[in-house]
């Protein structure tokens, strides 16, 4: 049996101005990430879905949480690397640098010794 697959149609990101009701969420993403991810710009075709994702993201990255936001960035990067998602690896590494989380701080936070093994 000859089964051929075709690629799914690619949805282009819409400009942020497309959904004025999402401007607060977009601005929070710009502040937190430095950009608005294409995934959310595509998702704004369903504003309720985009708003729900933005609310969940805000809850995860709440600065009043018990875990340091920079350390959360490192955890996100390790999870992305483990999953092999290069897109996520790029933006989580960028986010960690954005919050100036230094290598030594990250190593201590992950429980890795700064001393070389004997």
Q: Per-residue pLDDT tens for 97-115?
A: 766 555 556 556 555 555 5
pLDDT score at 47: 93
pLDDT score at 2: 55
pTM score: 0.63
Least confident of 22-26, 39-43, 97-101: 97-101
Report the chain's mean pLDDT, rounded to a whole number: 80
pLDDT score at 51: 93
Helix axes 86-98, 23-33, angle to 10 degrees: 80
């Amino acid at each position: 049996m000859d089964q051929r697959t075709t690629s799914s149609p690619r949805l282009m990101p819409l400009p942020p101005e497309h959904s004025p009701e999402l401007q607060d969420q977009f601005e929070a993403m710009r502040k937190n990430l430095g950009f608005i991810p294409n995934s959310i710009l595509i998702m704004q075709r369903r504003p309720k879905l985009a708003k729900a994702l933005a609310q969940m993201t805000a809850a995860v990255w709440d600065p009043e949480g018990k875990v340091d936001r920079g350390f959360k960035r490192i955890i996100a990067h390790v999870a992305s690397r483990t999953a092999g998602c290069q897109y996520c690896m790029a933006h989580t590494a960028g986010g960690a640098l954005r919050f100036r989380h230094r290598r030594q701080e990250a190593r201590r936070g992950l429980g890795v010794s700064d001393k070389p093994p004997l």
